[in-house]
Amino acid sequence: MSERIVVQIEGMSCGGCANTVKKAIEGIEGVDRAEVDHKSGEADIIHAEVADIEDKISERVEKEGYTLIKQN
């Protein structure tokens, strides 16, 4: 079963940044799709039920030089 999360990402200033983040997120095992908008700073992510998926996304985003804002 797929789940959806929307997270805020800081540091993106252009479409190239958004594309980099999208590719990084979609490279995570269990992520089916990611749509990233640099203007809103949001990433809309569809993923399989994977333990600690938000932590995995955060690590990958930070590796690319951006910051994921933890959602409550």
3-class SS of residue 4:
strand
> What span, in angstroms and rounded, lies between the C-alpha atoms of 18 and 39?
9
| Predicted structure pTM score | 0.90
From CA 6, how far away is CA 66, in angstroms rounded?
A: 16
Per-residue pLDDT of the chain (72 residues; tens, 9 = 90+): 789 999 999 999 999 999 999 999 999 999 999 999 999 999 999 999 888 888 999 999 999 999 998 664
Two structure tokens written together for 59: 């690590």
Nearest to 61 by CA among 15, 4, 7: 7
DSSP E strands in the chain: the ranges are 2-10, 31-37, 42-48, 67-69
Pick the CATH number of 2-69 from 3.30.70.20, 3.30.70.100, 3.20.10.10, 3.40.50.620: 3.30.70.100
The domain limits of the chain are 2-69
The H or E element spanning position 20 is helix 15-26
pLDDT at 71: 60
